[in-house]
Every structure is written in C-alpha cells, then in structure tokens.
Amino acid sequence: MDIATIIGLILGVIVVVGAILLGGMPEMFLDPISVIVVIIGSIAAVFIAFPLGSILSMPKVMLNTFFSKPTDLHKLIGQLVNFAEIARRDGILSLENHTHEMNEPFILQGIQMAVDGTDPELIESVMEQDLENLIDRHTVGKSLLDSIGRYAPAFGMIGTLIGLVTMLGDMEDPSGIGAGMAVALLTTLYGAILANVIFLPLADKLATRSKEEVLTKTIIIKGVMSIQAGDNPRVVEQKLYTFLPLSKRKSGDDEAAVMKKAA
C-alpha cells in the first residue's frame, strides 16, 4: 500500500474538516442538493465523455494509486545481468531451466521468445507493442480522473448559478439573501474539494506510477534484447544502468552485491 497517498488524503480531509469546524457552524456546510448536483453531474459528464468499459474500470484504476508497488530496479537489473551470464556461459537455451526464477511475466515473455528462437526484431516489436498498450491503458485511466477533476468544479459552479437564480427570483425577504447565497456557494465548495483533494492528486499519482512501470518494462526490453544478442554481462549491466539517474546508480561493489543477490 502507498502510505504517501493515504497520508495525503487524510491530511487533506483534516484540513477541510478542521477549517469547517473552526468556523463554528458546521451544519451550514451540509446541503444534500448540492452534493447531488456535483456528484451526479460529474458522473453524467464522464458517461458522456468515455465509453462504458473505461468507466467500469475506474475503481481498479483508483486502487492502483493505493496498492501499486514500485519495482526495485537495482534488483531487476541484477536479475537480468545474471540471466545474461547464464546465457553467455551455457547458451541461451539454458535459460529455459531458469524460468521459475522469473517472477516478472514480462521478463518471462521475452526470454521465452528468445529461447524459442524468435527473430530479434519480432521479439522487440511484440514487447514494445505490449508497452504501448500499457501506456494507452494508463493514459485512459488518468484521463478519467482528470476529467472528474475538471467536471466537479464546473458542476459546482452550475449548482451555484442555479442557487443564485432561485434566490434572486424571490427577493421578498431581503434578510434571507445572505443565507441563500451561502447555500448557493456550497456546490462550488464541494466541486473544489472533490477535484483538489481527491481526483486531481490521484491522477497525478497515477501518472507517477505509470512512468515507473514504463521505465521498468523499458529496462526489461533492453535487457532481453541484450541477452538475446549475446552481449557481455558487464555490457548488459552498463546499458541498463544508464536508465537510472546518476544518484541512484551503484558503485562497482554494490552492483556485484546486487548481481549476487539476484543469482
């Protein structure tokens, strides 16, 4: 579970609820009609903008922001280098005896094609197509959250305008204008809270998770292709570590330890 996401949501809720309670009149911030306008309105807009299949996948998309676990890239590179050593020493066909060590399905897919003698260009093409499909799925998921983050404040404004029109249409009691204005503004408040506390931050977290997964699969593709080409394990290691920022690259001793652990 991603603790940062949980902490962020809790702090956001505490800030909003705390500010309301410190105002001294929390009951003023409760209006069922405003809630309905913002939530149902946003859902309606999403149904218009996206196909049903994408909408039904939204709960899973949101869960990914909470439960997606980043890959240990140092361990991944060490594992690929270890496979490169085995292939270099015993031949690439020997990797078939090590498939049980490949916990990452994407590695297994690439190595299995290489062991089967698949053309290198076809291996790379298939794996890159899988990567592109992953990017497309993540893009749709982020677009869903971004869209709700845009629609919620818009429907908040719509609800506010409806409230203002209703209030201004009945000016017989001027003393009620202040209370009517407060209720009218609640939909704008609800929309802003939904957008900026929940959906837009989750969309940004999903984008971060997507970048991490794309980097992981890119490293795997390059590793598999180097293994298939019979590159020296040290060359494979150097190629793969170029995908990491300098601050995250290990020294020679650390790299050796990672390789030994992966083996």
User: Total domain count for the chain?
Assistant: 1
> What does pLDDT average to over the chain?
87
Residues 68 and 206 sit within 8 Å (Cβ to Cβ): no
Q: How confident is the model at residue 164 (pLDDT cuts 50, 70, 90)?
A: confident
pLDDT digits over 174-213, tens only? 666 666 677 788 899 999 999 999 999 999 999 999 999 9
Across 149-162, average pLDDT: 92
Residue 18 CA: distances (Å) to CA of 11, 125, 201, 261: 10, 54, 20, 49
CA pair distance 180, 244, nearest whole angstrom: 57
**Tally: H helices and E strands in the chain:** 11, 0
Among 106-115, 179-188, 210-219, the least confident range = 179-188
Q: How confident is the model at residue 250 (pLDDT cuts 50, 70, 90)?
A: low
Its sign, for the CA torsion 194, 199, 202, 203, is negative
CA pair distance 259, 255, nearest whole angstrom: 6
**The pLDDT of residue 151:** 95
- Length of the chain (residues): 263
Return the residue matching tokens 């601050």. Answer: 247
Residues 71 and 212 sit within 8 Å (Cβ to Cβ): yes
Sequence-distant (6+) residues with CB within 8 A of 166 are 180, 184
CA pair distance 33, 31, nearest whole angstrom: 6
Q: How confident is the model at residue 163 (pLDDT cuts 50, 70, 90)?
A: confident
Residue 66, pLDDT above cutoff 90: no
Q: How confident is the model at residue 129 (pLDDT cuts 50, 70, 90)?
A: very high
Residue 252, pLDDT above cutoff 70: no
**The pLDDT of residue 152:** 95
Domain that holds residue 207: 1-263
Q: How confident is the model at residue 112 (pLDDT cuts 50, 70, 90)?
A: very high
CA pair distance 76, 189, nearest whole angstrom: 46
